[in-house]
Amino acid sequence: MIKSLEELKKIREQYKDTLQNREAEDKNIKILVGMATCGIAAGARNTINAIIEEIRNENIDNAVVVQTGCMGFCYAEPTVEVRMPNSEPILYGKVDSEKAKEIVKRHVKNGEVIREWVLRG
């Protein structure tokens, strides 16, 4: 039973994440994870799930995570491309779930490009 506006706000916070995917059109940071056969074989599913989890943990609400097809860098899978507003897209290679969390913390949240993992950009 909701007995105050605060309690309603609590429920709103609790379920806010359920609409995150559906509000993608309003978000300006895009993270693409290569999820073709090569990417999946190299562990891209762990990568994408780690990114999503980290984004929730860090309360980043303006980023969309989508999967994409093969970008031709099959030797460097899993690949992750970060598109921030007003800057060139950055493509990272060989991103496991640990690196993925770092990328979210340092690049997506603080805008720091992690040079040593960059494949292109």
Partner 1 sequence: MPIRMELLVCGGTGCQASNSNRVLEVLREEIKNANLENEVSVLMTGCFGFCEKGPIVKVMPDNVFYVEVDEDSARKIVAEHVVKGRVYQEKLYVEPDTHEKLPEQSKIPFYKKQLRIALRNCGKIDPENINEYIAADGYMALGKVLTEMTPEGVIDVVKKSGLRGRGGGGFPTGVKWEATRKSKSDIKYVICNADEGDPGAFMDRSILEGDPHSVLEGMAIAAYAIGAQFGYIYVRAEYPLAIHRLRIAINQARELGLLGKNIFGTDFSFDVEIKIGAGAFICGEETALINSIEGGRGEPTVKPPYPAQVGLWKKPTNINNVETFANVAPIILNGADWFASIGTEKSKGTKVFALAGKVNNVGLVEVPMGTTLREIIYELGGGIRGGKKFKAVQTGGPSGGCIPAEYLDTPIDYDNLTALGSMMGSGGMIVMDEDDCMVNIAKFYLEFSCDESCGRCTACRVGNKRLLEILNKITEGKGEMEDLEMLKELAETVRDSSLCGLGQTSPNPVLSTMKFFYDEYLAHVRDKECPAGVCKELLKYYIIPEKCVGCTACAKVCPVNVIHGEPKKVHVIDRDGCIKCGQCYKTCRFGAITRK
By CB under 8 A, name the binding residues for partner 1: 1-5, 8-9, 11-12, 14-22, 24-25, 27, 34-37, 39, 45, 48-49, 52-53, 56, 64-69
Q: Which is nearer to partner 1, 14 or 86 (CB)?
A: 14
In the complex with partner 1, the residue whose CB is nearer, 23 or 98, is 23
CB 56 within 8 A of CB 43: no
Lookup: tokens for 49: 């799930």
Are β-strands 118-120 and 90-92 bridged in parallel, bridged antiparallel, or unpaired?
A: antiparallel
Instruction: List the one residue out of 34, 41, 52, 32 whose CA is nearest residue 97.
Output: 52
Q: How far is the CB of 65 from partner 1 (least distance, A)?
A: 6
Q: Give least dist CB 117 to partner 1, A.
A: 21
Provide the minimum distance between the beta carbon of 90 and partner 1 in the complex, in angstroms, as a whole number: 19
Least distance between partner 1 and beta carbon 120 (Å) = 19
Q: Which CB atom, from 14 or from 59, has the smaller least distance to partner 1?
A: 14
Task: Round to whole Å and give the CA distance between 52 and 120.
Answer: 23
Q: Phi and psi (nearest 5°) for 87?
A: -145, 160
Q: Kindly state the tokens that stand for 6.
A: 């605060």
